[in-house]
């Protein structure tokens, strides 16, 4: 059985970051949800321990005013996991963390690593395809994280973000997650965009 890359001491250190008061969505509940999905689909991953590390680190640095959270989180992973795993594997972990900025599958080798990254990105977006009340709570939590943004700017900016996902041919990269979440995700996104447009008067 493979060994976790995230020792208990490191889990405690990362958990403290996720416990920050300004994290209304990007906190430990999000990490635990992703770890739960990892266990549910563990047999679908070629390197589940690497993906576990991605989950723990991908939002470790989170400042809603910053544009480089994912890059800084990847750098933190490189620092904390140096010497714990090989350089090529650590590169894959870091590149997958960085990919959560755009939710575009990174160009990493081998192909099994790309599939692992695609599954991870789909897990990260699975909140979009949850029941309407869960999705609405997620939207409200993200809004609280961006409480500093004035309402007109939020309405325009959030609407654009949601539209980029809705306009994709597929929101999810893998058939596993498309079959489970795609239809509900499109309904949730459409409903949220309609509500934002109603606020803006469009």
Secondary structure, 3-state, the chain: CCCCCCCHHHHHHHHHHHCCCCCCCCCHHHHHHHHHHHHHCHHHCCCHHHHHHHHHHCCCCCCCCCCCHHHHHHHHHHHHHECCECHHHHHHHHHHHHHCCCCCCCCCCCHHHHHHHHHHHHHHHHHHHCCHHHHHHHHHHHHHHCCCCCHHHHHHHHHHHHHHHHCCCCCCCCHHHHHHHHHHHHHHHHHHHHHHHHHHCC
Residue for token pair 């544009």: 67
Q: How many degrees, rounded to 5, is the angle at CA 51 between CA 119 and CA 124?
A: 50
Residue 137 to residue 198: CA distance in whole angstroms: 19
pTM over 0.85: yes
- How confident is the prediction along the chain (202 residues), in pLDDT tens digits per residue? 578 999 999 999 999 999 999 999 999 999 999 999 999 999 999 999 999 999 999 999 999 999 999 999 999 999 999 999 999 999 999 999 999 999 999 999 999 999 999 999 999 999 999 999 999 999 999 999 999 999 999 999 999 999 999 999 999 999 999 999 999 999 999 999 999 998 876 5
Residues 68/75, Cβ–Cβ less than 8 Å:
no
183 phi/psi in degrees, rounded to 5? -60, -50
CB 59 within 8 A of CB 18: yes
Q: What is the spatial distance between Cα 79 and Cα 96, in angstroms, rounded to a whole number?
A: 16
Asked whether the beta carbons of 68 and 52 are under 8 A apart, the reply is no
Query: How confident is the model at residue 202, as a pLDDT?
Result: 58
In the block, residue with structure tokens 């405690």: 12
């Amino acid at each position: 059985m493979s060994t976790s890359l995230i020792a208990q001491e490191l889990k405690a250190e990362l958990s403290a970051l996720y416990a920050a008061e300004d994290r209304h969505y990007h906190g430990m509940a999000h990490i635990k949800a992703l770890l739960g999905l990892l266990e549910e689909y563990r047999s679908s991953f070629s390197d589940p321990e690497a993906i576990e590390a991605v989950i723990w680190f991908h939002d470790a640095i989170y400042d809603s005013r910053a544009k480089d959270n994912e890059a800084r989180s990847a750098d933190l992973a490189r620092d904390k996991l140096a010497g714990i795993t090989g350089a090529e594997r650590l590169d894959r972990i870091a590149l997958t963390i960085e990919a959560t900025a755009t939710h575009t599958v990174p160009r990493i080798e081998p192909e099994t690593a790309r599939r692992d990254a695609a599954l991870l990105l789909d897990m990260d977006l699975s909140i979009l395809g949850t029941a309407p009340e869960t999705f609405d709570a997620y939207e409200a939590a993200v809004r609280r994280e961006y409480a500093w943004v004035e309402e007109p700017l939020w309405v325009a900016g959030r609407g654009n973000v949601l539209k980029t996902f809705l306009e994709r041919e597929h929101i999810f990269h893998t058939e596993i997650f498309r079959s489970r979440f795609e239809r509900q995700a499109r309904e949730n996104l459409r409903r949220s965009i309609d509500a934002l447009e109603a606020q803006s008067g469009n």
